[in-house]
Amino acid sequence: MALATGAGLAKGFGAERVFEDVSFEIQDRDRIALVGVNGSGKSTLLRIIAGLERPDRGTVGLAGGVRVGYLPQEVTFPAGQTLQEYVLGAFQRLLEIENELRAVEAALSAGGTAGAVDALLERHGRLSHEYEDKGGYSYHNRVREVLAGLEIGEERLEQVLESFSGGQRTRAALARLLLSEYDLLLMDEPTNHLDLSATEWLEAFLVQARPAVVVVSHDRYFLDKVAAVTWEMSEGRLESYSGNYTKFAAQKAERLARQEKEYEAQQEHITRTEDFIRRYRAGQRARQARGRQKLLDRLERVSRPRDRAPMRVQIQSTLRAGDTVLATEDLIVAAGMPATPQRHTVAEQGDEAPSSGGAHARSTAPSRLSSGQPVVYAAPRGRAVPPQSVLFRCPDVEIRRGDRVAIVGPNGTGKTTFLRVVTGEVEPAEGRVYLGYGVQLAYYAQAHEQLHPERTALGEIQATKPLNDQEARTYLGQFLFSGDDVFKRVSSLSGGERSRLALAKMALGNANFLVLDEPTNHLDIYARAALEDVLSSYNGTILFVSHDRYLIDALATHVWEVSDGGLTGHAGGWADYLVARERRQAARRQAGLPPRPAGAAPAEGQLSDARPGASQETRRGAKALAARREALARLEAEIGACGERLRILDAQLAAASAAGDAAQIADLGNQHVAATEALARHEEQWLALSETVEGVAVAGD
């Protein structure tokens, strides 16, 4: 049964047409993904279906009695309303019945004539029946179930909604929407602000849900799980594709390729025909030429397939970092730590003695980073950190050159703070962070604090690198800033534009270690795909926090999970991580322990398998490296033994000289020469080997 149909819908704002001639049909239990670039009219279409906005032309028809629920992108609540009042608003009729029942019961308790009691009983019976029928006996359980799924603690029920964060507001609105028994749900970016476990819960809920769903989202993984049909808003038109996002992308590519072929064939035909007409217009075959002209005029032209220009960006670094890019030691990440005064941008290379007693000890590297002079961020000694501000204890972790590490975990567990500690923005609560030799780091902050609100996009680029206007505009063009876009102030850019500008700025820095905090936030689905390509072909090391599972799946070689006050490492991408998580939960179930919520770590601060290489290549590399390190250790032992032998020979020579034993002096002298040569040889070998191990030979130096 068609729940809703749209025919010939058109909408525009002022002179700008948003869409024209949009028609659709929504069937019972349909699960539809609505995708398209920012500003293509997705939200407007949802609002028109919901009846909140009127189309300029066309009609929307709803089947009789169909109830439509709408979740806007930004939810507003009546002032002073608590979560409980708001969520229970989904059961308005049940609450009314409850009140009526209590009134009837009070009248029954008061007694009366037999006739009056009978009437009251009949009314009570009718109300109880309706109450039961509308789920009056089960709605409290449903509220509890939905709140638990969305990870809203029951202790929050009495709190005023205005005090909620963006993520919590979305959850509250979702809870009410899901509890109200709608036949058609229209959801505008429901996964914004939701963390992974809540998103996964929502996916499962929607897949099993009775109502039909139309959902706008830029989360491709979410769309893949939820959608059975994909609608694309493109150039003012709505195209429907069967299947989820991945299938849609494949079908679209195919369609574009086919259209391109048809277009080219037609162009060739037109050129040939025009040539013929030109040649024979006035001659014997003029009649034929006129005929062809007529045919040509009647020809239905195939329009050139226009796909949105993708970002044509390459981020590459010409600097090569050492083998170890990042390592931590006894690190504790806490909220409210002071900012590190000397903010790090480039790993320092000059010799610097460890400062004693200073708040920010810069020391020479520990043994594993002994090749160069990396940067160390350390907590000051003797500082007491209140336990309540500790976010998590980090086991000793290490990131090697070329690794791409994704950090996942629920909101508020300290992922961003960890990145800020790594980048030296804030101090660790305890322990140290080492940035390896030759590491040049670039940080992409979630809120784009690195952009100056008063600068123009052009100014922002020129402030980063001295480029002339033309060069800067060409460069910005790669990031889809065209025409007057480059003169827009940062403060007036949309979320997506700001993200692209921040990326553009970051790409200029020649960094070999990218630290990214939610890089796909605000980007539309196409920009996300483009960013994914850019980062996949990047030759440096990446550490990123993301809730975008598609990106994690495409990029990550390791997944680190921050939860329950600890960090757990998993080798491999998102799929491997899911398998590991499922296995862990199965083990817990077998052991009779309660399952942990999605995204929870097995034990505090345990790093189970953070380092095993993701690919065979990495594993082979790691093996070779381990062998070299062993050889280095052997050489060091031999150097030590040679030193000791020389010390003994020196003592014996002194004794022989004192005794005047010429033969012994000559013998000992020979031994001394041999030992000195051996020492020199070993030292030579050690130096050569340590260079290969620690990556002293930096490309491009």
Partner 1 sequence: MALPGEQTMARKRGKKYLEVAKLIDRARAYRPDEALKLVKETSPTRFDATVEAHMRLGIDPRHADQQVRGTVVLPAGTGRQVRVVAFAQGDQARAAEAAGADRVGAEELVNEIQGGWLDFDAAVAAPDMVPLISRTLGRVLGPRGLMPNARTGTVTPDLGRAIREIKGGRVEFRADRAGLLHVPIGKVSFNEQQLMDNFRALVSAVVAARPSGAKGQYVQTVTLASTMGPGIPLDLPATNTLAA
Given the rule CB under 8 A, which of 81-89, 114-122, 171-179, 198-206 is the region that contacts partner 1? 114-122
Would you give the DSSP letter of residue 82?
B
- In angstroms, the CA 30 to CA 15 distance is 34
Return the closest-CA partner of residue 6 out of 275, 34, 563, 119. Answer: 34
Q: Among 17, 57, 129, 620, which residue interacts with partner 1 (rule: CB under 8 A)?
A: 129
- In angstroms, the CA 661 to CA 111 distance is 130
Return the closest-CA partner of residue 574 out of 603, 609, 550, 595. Answer: 550
Q: What are phi and psi of 178, to 5 degrees?
A: -75, -25
- In angstroms, the CA 101 to CA 431 distance is 63
Given the rule CB under 8 A, which of 45-53, 101-109, 397-405, 601-609 is the region that contacts partner 1? 101-109
CB of 104 to partner 1, least distance (A): 8
Given the rule CB under 8 A, which of 39-47, 98-106, 317-325, 593-601 is the region that contacts partner 1? 98-106
* DSSP per-residue letters across 181-223: --SEEEEESTTTT--HHHHHHHHHHHHH-SSEEEEE-S-HHHH
Given the rule CB under 8 A, which of 111-119, 258-266, 310-318, 604-612 is the region that contacts partner 1? 111-119
| Residue 61 makes contact with partner 1 by CB under 8 A | no
Q: Residue 64 or 357: which CB sits closer to partner 1?
A: 64
| Residue 124 makes contact with partner 1 by CB under 8 A | yes
Tokens of 659: 């005794």
Positive/negative CA dihedral, 465, 467, 473, 479: negative
Q: What are phi and psi of 426, to 5 degrees?
A: -125, 160
- One-letter amino acid at 493 equals L
CB of 131 to partner 1, least distance (A): 8
Q: Residue 103 or 696: which CB sits closer to partner 1?
A: 103
CB 190 within 8 A of CB 70: no
Tokens of 350: 């000059």
Question: 3-state DSSP call for residue 60?
Answer: strand
The CB density around residue 159, as the number of other CB atoms within 10 Å, is: 15
Q: Residue 133 or 300: which CB sits closer to partner 1?
A: 133
Q: Among 16, 54, 109, 697, which residue interacts with partner 1 (rule: CB under 8 A)?
A: 109
- In angstroms, the CA 467 to CA 473 distance is 9
C-alpha triplet 86, 89, 91: angle, nearest 5°: 145
Residue 570 pairs in a beta bridge with 559
Q: What are phi and psi of 88, to 5 degrees?
A: -70, -15
Q: Residue 189 or 224: which CB sits closer to partner 1?
A: 224
Residues 135-174, interacting with partner 1 (CB under 8 A): 136-138, 140
CB of 451 to partner 1, least distance (A): 45
CB of 543 to partner 1, least distance (A): 38
Residue 60 pairs in a beta bridge with 6
- Total residues interacting with partner 1, rule: CB under 8 A: 27
Note the maximum CA span of the chain: 137
For 143-150, the CB contacts below 8 A with 24+ separation are 143/87, 143/88, 143/175, 143/179, 146/175, 146/178, 146/179, 147/87, 147/175, 149/198, 149/201, 149/202, 149/205, 150/174, 150/175, 150/198, 150/201, 150/202
CB of 114 to partner 1, least distance (A): 8
CB of 125 to partner 1, least distance (A): 3
CB of 108 to partner 1, least distance (A): 6
Residues 20-39, interacting with partner 1 (CB under 8 A): 29
| Residue 116 makes contact with partner 1 by CB under 8 A | no
| Residue 111 makes contact with partner 1 by CB under 8 A | yes
Question: 3-state DSSP call for residue 387?
Answer: helix
Return the closest-CA partner of residue 170 out of 83, 70, 71, 50. Answer: 71
Instruction: Write the CB contacts of 280 (distance below 8 Å, at least 6 apart in sequence).
Output: 286, 288, 289
Given the rule CB under 8 A, which of 133-141, 348-356, 402-410, 417-425 is the region that contacts partner 1? 133-141
Given the rule CB under 8 A, which of 119-127, 434-442, 590-598, 619-627 is the region that contacts partner 1? 119-127
CB of 25 to partner 1, least distance (A): 17
Q: Among 122, 264, 275, 617, which residue interacts with partner 1 (rule: CB under 8 A)?
A: 122
Residues 196-255, interacting with partner 1 (CB under 8 A): 228
Q: Among 56, 100, 130, 239, which residue interacts with partner 1 (rule: CB under 8 A)?
A: 130
CB of 309 to partner 1, least distance (A): 35
Q: Residue 97 or 642: which CB sits closer to partner 1?
A: 97
| Residue 74 makes contact with partner 1 by CB under 8 A | no
| Residue 307 makes contact with partner 1 by CB under 8 A | no
Location of structure tokens 């390729």: 257
| Residue 126 makes contact with partner 1 by CB under 8 A | yes
CB of 29 to partner 1, least distance (A): 7
Given the rule CB under 8 A, which of 117-125, 410-418, 573-581, 640-648 is the region that contacts partner 1? 117-125
Would you give the DSSP letter of residue 312?
-
- In angstroms, the CA 478 to CA 501 distance is 11
Q: Residue 119 or 160: which CB sits closer to partner 1?
A: 119
- In angstroms, the CA 600 to CA 580 distance is 12
Residue 471 pairs in a beta bridge with none
Would you give the DSSP letter of residue 500?
H
| Residue 121 makes contact with partner 1 by CB under 8 A | yes
Q: Among 101, 302, 335, 390, which residue interacts with partner 1 (rule: CB under 8 A)?
A: 101
CB of 84 to partner 1, least distance (A): 17
Tokens of 643: 């030193």
| Residue 100 makes contact with partner 1 by CB under 8 A | no
Please provide the distance, in angstroms rounded to a whole number, between the alpha carbons at the two ends of the chain: 68
Return the closest-CA partner of residue 352 out of 369, 367, 372. Answer: 372
CB of 128 to partner 1, least distance (A): 5
Q: Among 25, 132, 254, 449, which residue interacts with partner 1 (rule: CB under 8 A)?
A: 132
CB of 249 to partner 1, least distance (A): 19
Q: Residue 106 or 637: which CB sits closer to partner 1?
A: 106
Given the rule CB under 8 A, which of 108-116, 162-170, 414-422, 500-508 is the region that contacts partner 1? 108-116
CB of 111 to partner 1, least distance (A): 8
Q: Among 15, 16, 54, 65, which residue interacts with partner 1 (rule: CB under 8 A)?
A: 65
Q: Among 13, 17, 23, 106, which residue interacts with partner 1 (rule: CB under 8 A)?
A: 106
CB of 126 to partner 1, least distance (A): 7
- In angstroms, the CA 369 to CA 582 distance is 36
Given the rule CB under 8 A, which of 127-135, 442-450, 512-520, 631-639 is the region that contacts partner 1? 127-135
CB 366 within 8 A of CB 330: no
C-alpha triplet 350, 352, 357: angle, nearest 5°: 155
Given the rule CB under 8 A, which of 124-132, 429-437, 441-449, 520-528 is the region that contacts partner 1? 124-132
Q: Among 5, 128, 246, 510, which residue interacts with partner 1 (rule: CB under 8 A)?
A: 128
Given the rule CB under 8 A, which of 122-130, 326-334, 359-367, 577-585 is the region that contacts partner 1? 122-130
CB of 139 to partner 1, least distance (A): 10
- In angstroms, the CA 251 to CA 231 distance is 12
- Contact residues for partner 1, defined by CB under 8 A: 29, 65, 101-102, 105-106, 108-109, 111, 114, 117, 120-122, 124-126, 128-130, 132-133, 136-138, 140, 228
